[in-house]
């Protein structure tokens, strides 16, 4: 069993081990308890993958645990401490290591991602303003970005970490931009080239540190989470040198409430190797002296909704994916989607859109409210 202090905290959150509510975890293997105490979130996620517990509403379970700071009372063991050590002393997101996340996550298979994403293939949160539909929410997000960037026909737009090319295609078709997408994922780029055929869009397989041209506007959606705190300043310097003096830069990133390594051990091992969430303080500090921070919008609650839509789509698509990916992968991926939804619901993590310009430029029109 778990220590009484932790059981008490869980009860205060409305969570009871082997309880009757849909967010109560049901333990099927007694080894679960020792594993949680030794490995915290890593043990929780791995034991779910191993079938040691199940829960009808993992998203709500995680949300309640995080709101109640239950994990603060679990110290973990030496194994967990050793796992976090490299992120503190090494640059885990160097050029030579940056491709790891592309190979282990983004190159898994385009059939997987197209099965649960919207038609514009947006692998970040939508904007559920006046809609509950995922596809419309993602269009809302793209139009919001375009409005903030003051996109005009003929603008050159740099998309750092362009995914499957959905943003590039939308901005080229609707706003008449000439888009350059930079990415290091072979599978994403292969898809993007075909997806945007015939449009004024170019895709380049290149590390962001090697970008050298100048652009009217720059956007980066869901890529800063892979940069790492030792590279935040170099990243901002690349954006600064690549942006024309009258340009606008929009950074769209998941972020934590506090500064630090901010690497979840389970997500780091199974989903986003070497991923690190910045804080707003870190974003501001690394942009200091380079950019004027014009506007910040927190879309965190919209990510909760997005993830729940992705989970529903993934569940519906699973019968045609099962033979390729297998049951353990299913448990891993559903845990990932629901765990992240719970994290946003608890307000432990946020989604910031930060609008920046170079010093001396007129304030963007979106800031005049």
* Per-domain residue ranges of the chain: 4-76, 94-367
**Beta-bridge partners for 201:** 179
Judge residue 5's burial from the number of C-beta atoms within 10 Å of its C-beta, 0-12 exposed, 13-18 middle, 19 or more buried: exposed
Question: How far are the Cα atoms of 39, 210, 211, 212, 255 from residue 354, in angstroms, in the given order?
Answer: 35, 23, 21, 23, 11
Rounded-to-integer distance, Cα 76 and Cα 64, Å? 20
Does the domain at residues 94-367 carry the CATH identifier 3.40.50.150?
Answer: yes
**CA-based torsion, 271, 125, 149, 255: positive or negative:** negative
pLDDT in the model for residue 60: 98
Report DSSP state, residue 279.
B
Contacts of 87-92 spanning 24+ positions with Cβ under 8 A: 87/261, 87/263, 87/274, 87/276, 88/261, 91/228, 91/230, 91/231, 92/228, 92/274
106 contacts 157 by C-beta, under 8 angstroms: no
pLDDT at 77: 45
Please say if 13 is a catalytic residue. no
Per-residue confidence (pLDDT) for residue 335, from 0 to 100: 97
The alpha carbon dihedral of 331, 336, 341, 345 has a sign of positive
Q: Which of 125, 177, 339, 340 is catalytic?
A: 340
Return the exposure string of 160-195: e unless at least 16 CB atoms fall within 10 Å of the residue's CB, then b: bbbbbbbbbbbbbeebebbbbbbbbbebbbebbeeb
Mean pLDDT of each 10-residue bin along the chain, 369 residues long: 84 94 97 91 95 97 93 56 49 57 78 97 97 98 98 98 97 98 94 97 95 97 92 96 98 94 85 91 97 97 98 98 97 97 96 97 86
- Write the pLDDT tens digit of every residue in 269-295: 999 888 899 999 999 999 999 999 999
Residue 261's pLDDT is: 73
Which tens digit of pLDDT belongs to each residue from 173-223? 999 999 999 999 999 999 999 999 999 999 999 999 999 999 999 999 999
| Residues contacting residue 80 through CB under 8 Å, at least 6 positions apart | 38, 39, 40, 42, 265
Q: pLDDT at position 260, please? A: 80
* pTM, rounded to two decimals: 0.93
Q: Tell me if 262 sits within 8 A of 228, measured CB to CB.
A: no
Give pLDDT, residue 95.
Answer: 62
CB atoms within 10 A of CB 259: 16
182/161 Cα distance (integer angstroms): 5
pLDDT in tens, 252-261: 999 999 998 7
Whole-number Å distance between alpha carbons of 50 and 41:
14
The residue assigned the tokens 């049901």 is 26
Contact 214, 249 (CB under 8 A): no
* Predicted pLDDT at 274: 83
pLDDT in tens, 128-149: 999 999 999 999 999 999 999 9
Whole-number pLDDT of residue 73 = 62
* H/E element, 256: strand 243-256
């Amino acid at each position: 069993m778990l220590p009484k202090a932790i059981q008490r905290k869980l009860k205060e959150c409305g969570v009871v081990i082997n309880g009757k509510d849909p967010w109560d975890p049901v333990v099927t293997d007694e080894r679960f308890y020792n594993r949680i105490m030794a490995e915290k979130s890593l043990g929780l996620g791995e034991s779910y993958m191993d079938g040691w517990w199940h829960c009808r509403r993992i998203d709500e379970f995680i949300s309640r645990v995080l709101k109640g700071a239950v994990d603060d009372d679990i110290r973990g063991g030496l194994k967990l401490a050793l796992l976090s050590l490299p992120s503190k002393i090494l640059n885990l997101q160097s050029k030579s290591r940056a491709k790891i996340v592309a190979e282990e996550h983004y190159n898994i298979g385009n059939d997987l991602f197209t099965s649960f994403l919207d038609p514009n293939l947006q692998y970040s949160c939508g904007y559920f303003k006046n809609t509950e539909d995922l596809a419309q929410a993602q269009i809302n997000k793209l139009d919001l970005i375009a409005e903030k960037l003051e996109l005009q026909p003929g603008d050159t737009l740099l998309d750092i970490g362009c995914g499957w090319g959905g943003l590039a295609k939308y901005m080229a078709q609707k706003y008449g931009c000439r888009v350059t997408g930079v990415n290091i994922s072979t599978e994403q780029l292969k898809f993007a080239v075909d997806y945007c055929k015939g449009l004024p869009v170019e895709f380049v397989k290149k590390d962001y540190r090697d970008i050298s041209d100048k652009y009217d506007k720059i956007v980066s959606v869901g890529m800063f989470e892979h940069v790492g705190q030792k590279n935040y300043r170099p990243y901002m310097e690349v954006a600064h040198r690549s942006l024309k003096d009258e340009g606008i830069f929009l950074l769209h990133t998941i972020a934590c409430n506090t500064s630090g390594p901010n690497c979840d051990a389970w997500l780091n091992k199974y989903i986003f190797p070497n991923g690190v969430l910045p804080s707003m303080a870190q974003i501001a500090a690394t942009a200091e002296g380079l950019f004027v921070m014009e506007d910040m919008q927190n879309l965190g609650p919209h990510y909760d909704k997005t993830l729940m839509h992705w989970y529903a789509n993934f569940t519906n698509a699973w019968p045609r994916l099962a033979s390729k990916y297998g049951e353990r992968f299913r448990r891993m991926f559903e845990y990932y989607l629901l765990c992240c939804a719970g994290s946003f619901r608890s307000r432990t993590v946020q989604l910031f859109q930060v609008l920046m310009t170079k010093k001396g430029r007129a304030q963007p029109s979106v800031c005049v409210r």
